[in-house]
Amino acid sequence: MKTLITLSLLVCFTVSGYGKANFLKRSELINKAEAIAIIDLGELVNPGKDKDDLFSASGEGVRGKLWSYTQKSKAKVVKLLAGKLPKEFFLYGGETFICAQCRLKKGRYLAFLRKDEEYWVGANWHLSLRPIKDNQVEWYVSEEQRFPMKYQDMQVVMKQIAKTRAEKK
């Protein structure tokens, strides 16, 4: 009987231990980002090798405190909306967390960023880089609704961000 109870407890704790991606609401994303900016993201470059990274399947990438990153791209700040960023920096993505990743692709984005050790990374998986096309940004339809997003006027979204950050203080 003891063995059955022990085994049952082990199964319960093991199942609840599996990770799950947390996709932030609009205000959470705005407030948890260390920096928010409109950026131009360049082509992917080799992220290099981290000899201590045992989690990167390709052997390429760097290891932060939370994840290993298998993608790297040069980013240029077009307009800084909140926080501090260098004018040019490397952005890392392609986390080794299978459930969610910030995949990097050349283009212009409204970026929500944070630091993992010395690496600039997305603040919330694929929601971190919101594509911009023709002065429209792919953005939350409402506070609670994370998906689907729709393209909205960039100026309206920037005002929403400024208002949300001001309410936080």
Give me the mean pLDDT over the 134-150 stretch: 90
Give me the mean pLDDT over the 33-62 stretch: 75
> pLDDT (tens digit, 9 = 90+) per residue, 65-123?
888 888 999 999 999 999 999 999 999 988 877 776 788 999 999 999 999 999 999 99
**66: number of Cβ within 10 Å:** 13
Q: Output phi, psi for 142, to 5 deg.
A: -150, 175
Q: Are 140 and 149 in contact (CB under 8 A)?
A: yes
Query: What pLDDT, on the 0 to 100 scale, is given for residue 45?
Result: 86
Distance CA 26, CA 35 (A): 15
pLDDT at 16 > cutoff 50: no
Distance CA 157, CA 138 (A): 10
Query: What pLDDT, on the 0 to 100 scale, is given for residue 61?
Result: 80
Distance CA 36, CA 124 (A): 12
CATH value of 22-168 in 3.90.550.10, 2.40.50.140, 3.40.50.720, 2.40.50.120: 2.40.50.120
Q: What percent of the chain has pLDDT over 70?
A: 79
Query: What pLDDT, on the 0 to 100 scale, is given for residue 21?
Result: 66
pLDDT at 159 > cutoff 60: yes
Q: Which of 117-121, 128-132, 146-150, 160-164 has the lowest mean pLDDT?
A: 146-150
Looking at residue 61, the DSSP 8-state letter turns out to be: B
Query: What pLDDT, on the 0 to 100 scale, is given for residue 87?
Result: 98
Query: What pLDDT, on the 0 to 100 scale, is given for residue 9?
Result: 39
Q: Residue 165 — left, alpha, or beta (φ > 0 → left; ψ -120 to 50 → alpha)? A: alpha
Beta strands in 32-142 (DSSP E): 35-45, 62-63, 68-82, 88-95, 107-116, 119-122, 129-133, 136-139
